[in-house]
Amino acid sequence: MCDQTFVAITFGPCDSCSQNKPLMNIYLQNEPVNYCSLCVELMACQGLAKGETVSTLRAESENLKAKLEEERAKLHDVELHQVAEKVETLGQFVIKTRRTLKGHGNKVLCMDWCRDKRRMVSSSQVIMRSAAVCVLQEHAVTMPCTWVMACAYAPSGCVIACGGLDNKCSVYPLSLDKNENLAAKKKSVAMHTNYLSACSFTNSDMQLLTSSGDGTCALWDVESGQLLQSFHGHSADVLSLDLAPSETGNTFVSGGCDKKANVWDMRSGQNIQSFETHESDINSVKYYPSGDAFATGSDDATCRLYDLRADREVAIYSKESIIFGASSVDFSLSGRLLFAGYNDYNINVWDVLKGTRVAILFGHENRVSTVRVSPDGTAFCSGSWDNTLDFNPV
Partner 1 sequence: MSTSGNVVAMKKVVQQLRFEANIDRVKVSQAAAELQQFCIQNALQDPLLTGVSSSTNPFRTQKLCSFV
Interaction of residue 378 with partner 1, rule CB under 8 A: yes
Q: Binding partner 1 by CB under 8 A: which of 190, 222, 379, 389?
A: 379
Least spacing, CB of residue 79 vs partner 1, in Å = 7
Beta strand pairing call for 138-142 and 127-132? antiparallel
Interaction of residue 116 with partner 1, rule CB under 8 A: no
Interaction of residue 314 with partner 1, rule CB under 8 A: yes
Name the one range near partner 1 by CB under 8 A: 161-169, 194-202, 208-216, 310-318. Answer: 310-318
Interaction of residue 329 with partner 1, rule CB under 8 A: no
- Biggest CA-to-CA distance, the chain: 70
Q: Binding partner 1 by CB under 8 A: which of 34, 106, 230, 332?
A: 332
Q: How many C-beta atoms surround the C-beta of residue 313 within 10 A?
A: 19
Residue 15 or 311 having the CB closest to partner 1: 311
Which SS3 state, helix, strand or coil, does residue 35 take? strand
| Nearest to 170, CA basis, from 157, 155, 189, 185 | 189
Beta strand pairing call for 337-342 and 326-331? antiparallel
Least spacing, CB of residue 6 vs partner 1, in Å = 16
Residues 259-288 touching partner 1, rule: CB under 8 A, are 270-274, 288
Residues 62-91 touching partner 1, rule: CB under 8 A, are 64-65, 67-68, 71-72, 75-80, 83-84, 87, 90
d(C-alpha 167, C-alpha 164), whole Å:
6
Taking the CA atoms of 273, 276, 278 and 283 in sequence, report the sign of the dihedral they define.
positive
Interaction of residue 41 with partner 1, rule CB under 8 A: yes
Least spacing, CB of residue 141 vs partner 1, in Å = 17
| Nearest to 381, CA basis, from 30, 100, 168, 69 | 100
Residue 115 or 186 having the CB closest to partner 1: 115
Interaction of residue 385 with partner 1, rule CB under 8 A: no
Which SS3 state, helix, strand or coil, does residue 24 take? strand
